[in-house]
Chain A
Amino acid sequence: MSRERRAFIRFAEFTRLSRLSRFSRFALLKLNELSKPSKLSKLFALCFLIVLAGGCATSSSTQYVRQNVDYDNFKRIAVLPFESLTTDEYAGEKIRKTVITELLSRGIDVVEPGEVTRVLIEQRIKSLGSVKTTDLQNTAKTLGVGAIMMGSVEAYGISSGISVSYPEVSINLRLVEASSGNIIWSVCQTSGGPSFWTRHFGAEGLSLSDAANTVVKEAIDTLF
């Protein structure tokens, strides 16, 4: 006889002796039925799946891809310096470098960052936050590209969750078509919080650089 079964019999005897209500005895009876291995294991498996499904780390994104645009024409693009909207003043530059690497790895030719900086200085563009469409079009013309990528970094650092710390990266990328001056692609991508295994079992989570690489990769995936 299993230990659970013996415990149940002791409980049943206790309820009989102590004249617990019919409801309590019924509840104990159901508990006993559940303690049979097959049902119990099924219940545990179900609970585990629910917790796992509800607790996974996910990255979320919002994207826009303009229709009726031939994206094959953009074989060479320029990536402007990104705005850093975080306390890390170099976050924009770090993400920009990752974006350039990711684009190059997908066969997209990218103008050398130094060349872009030179043209921006020549055109006396000081603040990237207030770059006008005409400035973008002139920059694209000078650099000989069909589109310009702009962006910003909204989060780049280690955030504190309820019980653990985790890397948080959030970026916003936009592609502006040089000929029309329209935004033809836009994506907001953010890394999720800590994974289930990190929160509950102390498993090793992503590092900040890994999270940044993942976010950039997933953002670029929405277009190229």
Chain B
Amino acid sequence: MNSLKRYILVSAVFAAVIVSFSCAGRGTPSFYIRQDYDFSYIKKIAVLPLDNLTNEKFAADAVRQVVVCELLSTGLVDVAVPGEAEAAVDKLGLKSIRALSAEQIKTLGSALKVQAVVFGAVDKFGEVRIGNISAPEVTITLMMADTTSGSIVWSVTKTGGGASFAARHFGARSETMSEAIIRVVKEAIETLYK
């Protein structure tokens, strides 16, 4: 009986080690959240166009649409119509939203009548090769700035995608690109409204 227990234990440990070293990138996102800020004050948010740091033409727009959708789905905030945010950015003559100053954030806030703006970048968007297979990978950075003070109150970087152990070795189902985007955005926003 002891031999059976030992056999099962060794097998379980071996399996756990293999699986833990082989899982797709499900790492926890690195994020910052300002502790002394009352997020319940934010009733309406504008999601500014994201910076596209990839070679995929529509990466930033595609991720932005999902960010709007996920923020709305929390049910905690309203989101300004995306076109409104784009028009405000154009009106202010901002060529790049990569480095918004506090004054620009405040101006955007009053133009859009929102308490916070979300901006960020898509750092990676595409297929990556893992061994002899390829899998989708997405990396995003999102930031939220309070429009009263112009300061950043939340920031997150999240990577997702890849092929799981089961997908690589046993032909289990792996994520599509669209599913990877949705999951990455969802996990990033969960750090804010958990």
Contact = CB atoms under 8 A, between A and B. Distances in A.
A172 B65 contact: yes
Contacts of A159: 176-177
A193 B58 contact: no
Interface in B89-134: 90, 133-134
A196 interface: yes
A87 to B, nearest CB: 8
Contacts of A62: 66, 69-70, 73, 182, 186
B61 A192 contact: no
Contacts of B75: 64
A43 B127 CA distance: 37
Max chain B Cβ within 10 angstroms of own Cβ: one of A166, A199, A200: A199
Contacts of B90: 130
A23 B73 CA distance: 55
A26 B4 contact: yes
B69 A188 contact: yes
Interface residues of B, number: 45
A85 B73 CA distance: 22
B175 interface: yes
Contact of A60 (B3, B80, B179): B179
Interface stretch (A9-17, A49-57, A96-104, A116-124): A49-57
Contacts of B82: 129
A136 B83 CA distance: 10
A209 interface: no
B173 A199 contact: yes
Interface in A169-204: 170, 172, 174, 176, 181-183, 186-188, 190-194, 196, 199-200
Contact of A129 (B61, B181, B182): B61
B78 to A, nearest CB: 6
B17 interface: no
A85 B86 contact: no
Interface stretch (B30-38, B143-151, B162-170): B162-170
Contacts of A150: 81
Given A26-B3, A30-B4, A132 B171 contact: no
Interface of A: 22-23, 26-27, 30, 51, 54-57, 60, 62-64, 83, 85-86, 128-133, 135-136, 150, 152, 154-155, 159-163, 166, 168, 170, 172, 174, 176, 181-183, 186-188, 190-194, 196, 199-200
A-B CB proximity, top 8 nearest: A170-B178, A64-B72, A131-B83, A190-B178, A85-B58, A130-B86, A188-B69, A154-B62
